[in-house]
Structure 1
Amino acid sequence: MTASTLAIGIGMGYALLHVWGVLQPAAFRLKARAFPRHEGIGWVLMLTGTLWFLWRVKQTEISDFAAYKNLMYVGFAGIGLGTCLYVKDFLAVRGFAVLSLILAAVTLERVRWIESDLRLVVVCWVYAWVIAGIWFSISPWRMRDWIEWWTHDERRTRVACALRTVLGAVVAILGATVFRTPTS
């Protein structure tokens, strides 16, 4: 996947999610506040993150770990499944944190080769994902508190979602213009 395609996909997905919050802040607020403790979404996010991480381990060709790869597969799969079974509190937040960290790694791998300084818009945003992913992994209840703060009332929800919609649109536009590589 190219940096352009990735930026367009992430930007549009982020923008479209938050357009809903601009148009229907009350409904968005209810769903957002239910997210941190939603067990079904938690299972999907955590298992997706686990499978994606296992695939990335498989793709990694570090000879230092070659002898231990099978053990690593079993261990990491066990951690992912064990988390779903035994750490159900804030499972959606934990799964979100795992996916944020993996998506950050993939995004940084792609955008680091872009010569334009505008790549720093995406790089800074992605490092915010890393900080959030680490922070929410350590203390997942902070996401609940954060969501409650920015969905405190309809006005705050609309403003926060409008700003996020603009950020997503900017990233998508960068992907469609600046990050696009000429085809030969």
Structure 2
Amino acid sequence: MQAIYDFLYSPGLPLKPVGLVVGLWLLASHLFALVKPEVIKPHLKSFPRNEKIGIPLVIFCFAWGFVIWSCMDLGEFYKIERVVQVVIAGVCIGVIVQVREFLAVRALGFFLILVAAPLLDAAFLEEPKTRLLLVALAYAGALKGMFWIGMPYLLRDQINWLLEKDARLKVGALAGAVYGLILLICALLFW
């Protein structure tokens, strides 16, 4: 566990590889949505209530939280480390069993909050101002994640709005692809 924690947080991921991975992921996923909207639409529509995605994503996110809690310096809270580890495992099981409604949305929100820290660490105190593209993406994801955990129906409504007209999906996919391309160019040239 310590190796995973050290890889993500201590000293943190380098900016260039993070920018390349995030840029490539944004570019590839949004270009696919732009080129094959008929493939993406049913998956987007079914995502909010998809337990086949939600349960593994919840387990992954709670495992990530478990790693963070187990490996970080707890200071005076070290005495309750084991208790909180048991609570994390218990809450994970409780969420899977009791919070079935929009589980995938809540898990995605949890994931976006967790992934923000390594992204922000990668861009922390780095020289080129273009790094703020990654920072803005991380904060936007964390903010959306908080709303999706508390009000998961928002993602369902956002997906329905996006899929209502083909032009909206095309514009959204194009915007995501352009943002990914800009991140990729910045990572290759400036970071």
| TM-score computed with the length of structure 2 as normaliser | 0.89
Deviation at 1:76, TM superposition (A): 1.3
Equivalent residue in structure 2 for 1:66, among 55, 78, 81: 78
Deviation by residue 1:97-144 (Cα, 9 ceiling, x = unmatched): 111001001111111131111111111121111110111011001000
Moved more, 168-177 or 17-26: 168-177
Matches within 5 A, 1:163-174: 163-174=175-186
Distance 1:127 1:139 in 2: 18
For 2:32, give the aligned amino acid.
Answer: W
Equivalent residue in structure 1 for 2:66, among 42, 47, 54: 54
Structure-2 residue corresponding to 1:37? 49
Alpha carbons of 1:31 and 1:56: their partners in 2 closer, same or farther (altered >3 Å)? Answer: same
CA contact (8 A) 1:100 1:130 kept: yes
Does residue 84 (structure 1) correspond to residue 74 (structure 2)? The answer is: no
Structure-1 residue corresponding to 2:134? 122
Distance 2:76 2:190 in 1: 38
For 2:82, give the aligned amino acid.
Answer: N
* Matched position secondary structure for 1:118: helix
Moved more, 137-146 or 151-160: 151-160
Distance 2:60 2:38 in 1: 29
Structure-2 residue corresponding to 1:75? 87
Deviation by residue 1:51-71 (Cα, 9 ceiling, x = unmatched): 111111122112122111111
Structure-1 residue corresponding to 2:7? none
Matches within 5 A, 1:136-155: 136-155=148-167
Distance 1:36 1:169 in 2: 28
Structure-1 residue corresponding to 2:168? 156
| TM-score computed with the length of structure 1 as normaliser | 0.92
Distance 1:151 1:169 in 2: 23
Distance 2:187 2:114 in 1: 20
Distance 1:169 1:65 in 2: 43
Deviation at 1:2, TM superposition (A): 1.6
User: Structure 1: which 5+ residue stretches go unaligned?
Assistant: 180-184
Q: How many residues align?
A: 179
Alpha carbons of 1:81 and 1:172: their partners in 2 closer, same or farther (altered >3 Å)? Answer: farther
Distance 2:82 2:23 in 1: 36
* Matched position secondary structure for 1:151: helix
The answer to which structure, 1 or 2, has the higher relative contact order (CA under 8 A, 6+ apart) is 1
Structure-2 residue corresponding to 1:20? 32
* Matched position secondary structure for 1:114: coil
Alpha carbons of 1:84 and 1:21: their partners in 2 closer, same or farther (altered >3 Å)? Answer: same
Distance 1:174 1:81 in 2: 41
Distance 2:189 2:64 in 1: 29
